[in-house]
Structure 1
């Protein structure tokens, strides 16, 4: 069995301590919240967010306008279809009235012919 190597343990502990110190030093070296560079980055991010929101609202407005236009076109199409149905129904009614008048005239002519034949 090998001996316990204390040097390796000490090296590992020292490396861990150095890593902790380096992390702490990086954390402490961070600029404060009121640092001009930090404020500039925040302002830039805020400007990007506002621009993104603006583009999003513009796209939404365009989408709503297109949707309203489509709705208006659909309504107009339904109104045209309803008007066409009304026109067709009126034409059909006129044809039926004309047909009924023709049939009545033909019937009256036949009746008059029978009466005339009976009188002779």
Structure 2
């Protein structure tokens, strides 16, 4: 009961030959490269590849435009911040100049008042 079918060497060799013949028949009946169906499938694959490449190029272009837009916005924000900083600096400088001029004017006024009092005192002494 070791081999229920009694598969001998000749039987195995015959099965291998039949398998080879079937394989050769399969390749012989396979469609050739110039077969209309094969050509149609190849053209379809090429069209799909071209469409995929076009979509990839479109995505790359959109990314590039988005990057350029973001760079432009960042440059505009930076320019606005710089302008605001310059305006703030000018305002502080102007305020400092006004304060200094008021201090100088007050000091000159006090000196003039002191000089007037001094002159009046000297005039009374004579």
- Shorter-chain TM-score range: 0.7 to 0.9
- 1:34 equivalent to 2:34? Answer yes
- 1:74 equivalent to 2:74? Answer yes
Deviation at 1:106, TM superposition (A): 1.2
What TM-score do the two structures reach when normalised by structure 1?
0.87
1:1-120 aligned at under 5 Å gives the runs: 7-120=7-120
Task: Give, in whole Å, the separation in 1 of the partners of 2:56 and 2:43.
Answer: 20
Task: Give, in whole Å, the separation in 2 of the partners of 1:69 and 1:48.
Answer: 31
What TM-score do the two structures reach when normalised by structure 2?
0.83
Task: Give, in whole Å, the separation in 2 of the partners of 1:12 and 1:107.
Answer: 125
Matched pairs, number? 117
Task: Give, in whole Å, the separation in 2 of the partners of 1:86 and 1:64.
Answer: 33
Task: Give, in whole Å, the separation in 2 of the partners of 1:8 and 1:39.
Answer: 47
Q: Structure 2: 5+ residue runs without aligned partners?
A: 121-126
Q: Structure 1: 5+ residue runs without aligned partners?
A: none
Q: Which structure is larger by alpha-carbon Rg, 1 or 2?
A: 2
Task: Give, in whole Å, the separation in 2 of the partners of 1:116 and 1:65.
Answer: 75
